[in-house]
A and B are shown apart, each in its own frame.
Chain A
């Protein structure tokens, strides 16, 4: 998946008004709460056919961290 598409889709999934970039800190987002975690899980499952281990959420601060969890090999335009 192209990184730019990923960022757009993730922004839509999280229902955020601001555009996301790789350094965006998830916890700083306006609507980010425990429900958002479920949205992220659904998003990754639907788009990458992967299930994230929720333990990894503890250390996930930025969008870039999420991309690393999914696996950078899944993204183009690196």
Chain B
């Protein structure tokens, strides 16, 4: 039903390496970060560089050798919009010079954002509302992180990915599995900045109310509990087994967790893609960036069956299968 036609991504210029972090936080070894978390560097948006700016870059790249006038819907996934309103996607339509007789909207999701974006794209295409969907996942979590928060500065990076999704009657029509559990809301959160002002900070939060707070162990527990079942469910729903899947591409949060999940779900190593070494955890952009890298490396080929799973902030999670 749907096919990913093109993927491009953009990483902001400023790079924060493990060596930089080691200088600031001498108790953290650069080697341990690389070994356990799987990250060597992450890209940091500059002060006046927003998700819109990143999205313009990744979208202009994706429009090379593609007629942008075909795009009839913009889906913009971010949790760090330029403004409360208007919609960032509306501004992007203008900046990219796209047609005016198209739909455009933002949606607020993180780690599960790309899978949800695919679900929305499929709905738009199946209903005939759109045929060529521009799905952008653009995130700047680093803007929320306190300079002294070594843990989160180590993990998160900024990026934008632009993906064109189109109808294709020659590929499979696969189901999605989506999930939500708001009881996990407090475990990855920026409390101040919105309209909820009567909040209380988590006692473990060491920084300011407008800074990102993440309870790593709680989120790890959530993934261990939910994700193995999700992977089984998405394969069962689509009548497939592990042997049918060429690649499993999960949201690239940190390599320790991913390796553990791979062992727990018994996915063969050669089918399980992990690579966030040069980008860090770019939230909703991790999956499209991974797919693009796999393509460029010659790993991913047209006709491959891929299982995608995104999970995290919300809590929100989703999985689907695609013929690439």
Query: Which residues of A are in contact with B by a Cβ distance under 8 Å?
Result: 31, 33-35, 37-39, 41-42, 45-46, 51-54, 57
Contact = CB atoms under 8 A, between A and B. Distances in A.
Contacts of A35: 32, 36-37, 256
B260 interface: yes
Contacts of A53: 221
B194 to A, nearest CB: 26
Contact of B224 (A34, A37, A41): A41
B225 interface: yes
Contacts of B37: 35
Given A34-B216, A38-B216, A42-B260, A51 B36 contact: no
Contacts of A37: 216-217
Contacts of B32: 31, 33, 35
Given A31-B32, A54-B215, A54-B221, A38 B151 contact: no
B151 A34 contact: yes
A41 B151 contact: no
B168 interface: no
Interface in B76-124: none
Nearest to A34: B151
B273 to A, nearest CB: 20
Contacts of A41: 217, 220-221, 224
A57 B225 contact: no
A34 B220 CA distance: 12
Interface residues of B, number: 19
Interface in B205-237: 215-218, 220-221, 224-225
A53 B220 CA distance: 11
Interface of B: 27-28, 32, 36-37, 151, 215-218, 220-221, 224-225, 256-257, 260, 263-264
Given A35-B32, A35-B36, A38-B257, A54 B218 contact: yes
A52 to B, nearest CB: 8
B217 A38 contact: yes
A33 B25 CA distance: 13
A16 to B, nearest CB: 13
A31 B28 CA distance: 10
Contacts of A42: 220, 224, 256, 260
19 contacts: A33-B28, A34-B216, A35-B37, A35-B256, A37-B217, A38-B217, A38-B220, A41-B217, A41-B220, A41-B221, A42-B224, A42-B256, A45-B224, A45-B264, A46-B263, A51-B221, A52-B221, A53-B221, A54-B221
Given A42-B220, A45-B264, 6 more contacts: A33-B27, A37-B217, A39-B256, A42-B256, A45-B224, A54-B217
A10 B256 CA distance: 16
Contacts of B218: 54
A57 B36 contact: no
A38 B256 contact: yes
A33 B35 CA distance: 14
A33 B29 CA distance: 11
A26 B36 CA distance: 18
